Structure 1
Amino acid sequence: MPLDPGQQVLEVGRGELPSDRDVVQEAGRRQHNGTFRGYNPAFVTGARARELFWSDGALEARTTALGERVGRALADTARRYGLPAPRGRGLAWGLPFRGPGAAREVCDAAYRSGLLLETAGPNDKVAKVLPPLTVADEQLELGLGLLDESNERENGCRSTSSASSA
């Protein structure tokens, strides 16, 4: 099956997915590398996934609802600990911290509890919350709980609720 990069995406609509081997064999004699050319099997897979998962709007609606839930949970955490407001969209969120390395401390504590988070921003001041689009409700709640507990362990003495009750 001769492959034309433009043709591959169109063929996905008919359910015909070329294999990696087909792509590699066809590209073998030609220059098929470079920084900005991408990886054709990933493009084809992405197009097919979009067709399957985004065809009826259910995943989009669920992602929006879960994203709002994550936003509320992170906003609650930020209020309790006097942190800047979280920012995000869908299921991609960032929880900013004030001091350099503070997000790294919380992410390390979360990792020790079994939750994998990344940091971002200058001096590791933001904890990135990036659950998969297909996350189960229970897993999301568990992850948000572990993040909150990790923040409590690392920044509990800075909590605005504990400071006001002292």
Structure 2
Amino acid sequence: MPVEFGVLGPVMAWDGAGDALVLKGPRHRAVLARLIVARRRVVPVARLVDDLWLDPPQDAIGAVRTFVAALRRAIEPERPPRTPARLLVTEGPGYALRAEPGTVDAWRFEQAVTAAATLPPHEALDRLEEAIGRWRGPAYAEFTEEAWARAERSRLGELRLHAVERRAEARLDL
């Protein structure tokens, strides 16, 4: 069963059984969150360094590699040593999280809100209730001050307000 990722609140990951995975420290979670914001695209290591530190330490690239290695162990614990990662992959100058659309709560939320727009009120209401219920707090809650998260946090917050309004409209229609 696939790993699921949550960014509609504090950044988290769960295994296929629904148990929370240990993501270690805040920089580990920041790397994961930054890769989720990138939506399956490669984020160069240099960009990760700039996003993680105002004044990067001398060994910042090595630190990012260490964070990625720890994240890989957490999200792919069954992967044999020295075999290529399937989820958090190295590509060219950086890393990408190849999470499927249904494994990230924010992406599922967006899909549900989009789908609800074309549904009759009773079905839209169910879909919107489920979508809004995914929220555990502000999007990317730990990273409110990070420039790399600002636009995505704002976009998701606006979409949540739209979902709440659409839910109210569906209730009135019913």
| Pairwise TM-score range, normalised by the shorter structure | under 0.3
Greater Rg by CA: 1
Greater RCO, CA 8 A, separation 6+: 2
